Amino acid sequence: MSASAAPDELSCIAIRNRAHQLWERDGQPIGKDLEHWLRAKEEHLYFITIGLGNEPTKEQLESALARVYKLRDFEIEHYWKRATYFWAFQVAIFAAFGLLLRTAETHMGDIIAVPLAALGILTAVANALSARDSRFWQKNWESHIDMLEDLTEGRLYKTIWLAKGKISFSVSRLNERLSDYFTIFWILIFIYICWRFLGSPTTLYLLEEKLDRHFYYIVFITVLTLIGGGLLRGQTSDFYGATPNHDGSHGTQIIGMRRWAKFRLRKRIVSKGAPPFIRRYLPTEIDRK
């Protein structure tokens, strides 16, 4: 490492002191000096990046921790508000779909049922993606708690009681899985309605009379559904940031977050070996080119 990139003396002292604290906390084990140094270095980089300096005071840490707890609670509260919003859409579409099939004339009912089933697919996909995005931010604030609590209130949040040594189910993951199954359900319903609308593909009647009118209608609705699904895949990674330098300043800019988010549900944007967190740019610092 070049001299210009080396941490300053205060940083080295802070890292060494923190590594010694970690060593004492872990029972003074032998042969783990490098492990404690790397952990201390990452913690130090974290505190520098969030703007608390080389050796943050207890008051600073407590204030930051209290704010993070509030942000985490806010995210959990709105996680279920968003889930309720999308499940209300699902119930309304399902009710309209069932009523339509019961009361409408068969042919006209199928014409309306096709885009209605497509809307059910999009709503279920939006619910699944929204749940994952909410959990992403919840995990973000929980990671901040994990980093901050050791120096203020011990490891209370990181200590979990396990009844009979067993873990329970994840409520948020259950909601995600249910959303996934509803997506599959609506896809199957969409296929069924299209089949019923077009008739058996082996019939000459379909090929001669229905192809122009009905087949292209199905293609049109399917294309709209795919476009809508693509628009729903805008990710949380649609922000600008960089891996932090040793002094907390912007380092390597994260390239291609907006571009690749459109094609992949999730993408690793931080290379292996880099800190697991990034620093966002101020609006005035963004290079929009």
Digit-coded pLDDT (tens) for 49-61: 888 877 788 888 8
- pLDDT confidence of 204, banded at 50, 70, 90? very low
Mean pLDDT, residues 146-151 taken together? 86
CA-CA distance, 36 to 90, in Å (whole number)?
50
Residue 286: predicted pLDDT: 63
- The answer to whether residue 85 sits within a structural domain is yes
Residue 226 sits in the same domain as residue 267: no
Task: Report which of residues 16 and 68 the model is more confident about.
Answer: 68
The owner of tokens 């809307």 is 119
Residue 239: predicted pLDDT: 60
Residue 221 sits in the same domain as residue 163: yes
Q: Is the pLDDT of residue 4 over 90?
A: no
- The answer to whether residue 38 sits within a structural domain is yes
pLDDT digits (tens, 9 = 90+) for 36-88: 777 778 888 888 888 887 778 888 889 999 999 999 999 888 888 888 888 89
Which residues have a Cβ under 8 Å from the Cβ of 233 and sit 6 or more positions away? 129, 261, 262, 265
- The answer to whether residue 37 sits within a structural domain is yes
- Model confidence, pTM: 0.71
- The answer to whether residue 193 sits within a structural domain is yes
Within 10 Å of residue 93's Cβ, how many Cβ atoms? 19
Q: Is the pLDDT of residue 6 over 70?
A: no
* β-pair type (279-280, 241-244): antiparallel
Residue 22 sits in the same domain as residue 107: no
Residue 250 β-bridge partners: 244
Residue 125 sits in the same domain as residue 187: yes
What is the residue-averaged pLDDT of the chain?
75
pLDDT digits (tens, 9 = 90+) for 227-276: 776 666 655 555 677 778 777 777 777 754 444 444 444 566 666 667 77
Q: Is the pLDDT of residue 30 over 70?
A: yes
- The answer to whether residue 156 sits within a structural domain is yes
Residue 140 sits in the same domain as residue 216: yes
Buried b (16+ CB within 10 A) or exposed e, 139-171: eebbebbebbbbbbeeeebeeeeeeeeeeeeee
For the purposes of burial, counting CB atoms within 10 Å of the CB of 63, is it exposed (0-12), middle (13-18) or buried (19 or more)? middle
Residue 7 sits in the same domain as residue 75: no
- The answer to whether residue 215 sits within a structural domain is yes
* Phi, psi at 14, each rounded to 5°: -65, -40
- The answer to whether residue 236 sits within a structural domain is no
Residue 28 sits in the same domain as residue 85: no
Task: Report which of residues 286 and 243 the model is more confident about.
Answer: 243
Residue 250 sits in the same domain as residue 198: no
Residue 212: predicted pLDDT: 56
Residue 218 sits in the same domain as residue 265: no
Residue 14's domain comprises 3-49
- The answer to whether residue 237 sits within a structural domain is no
Residue 283: predicted pLDDT: 62
- pLDDT confidence of 163, banded at 50, 70, 90? confident
Task: Report which of residues 180 and 210 the model is more confident about.
Answer: 180
Residue 13 sits in the same domain as residue 137: no
Structural domain count, the chain: 3
Q: Is the pLDDT of residue 125 over 70?
A: yes
Residue 8 sits in the same domain as residue 144: no
Residue 264: predicted pLDDT: 46
Residue 33 sits in the same domain as residue 83: no
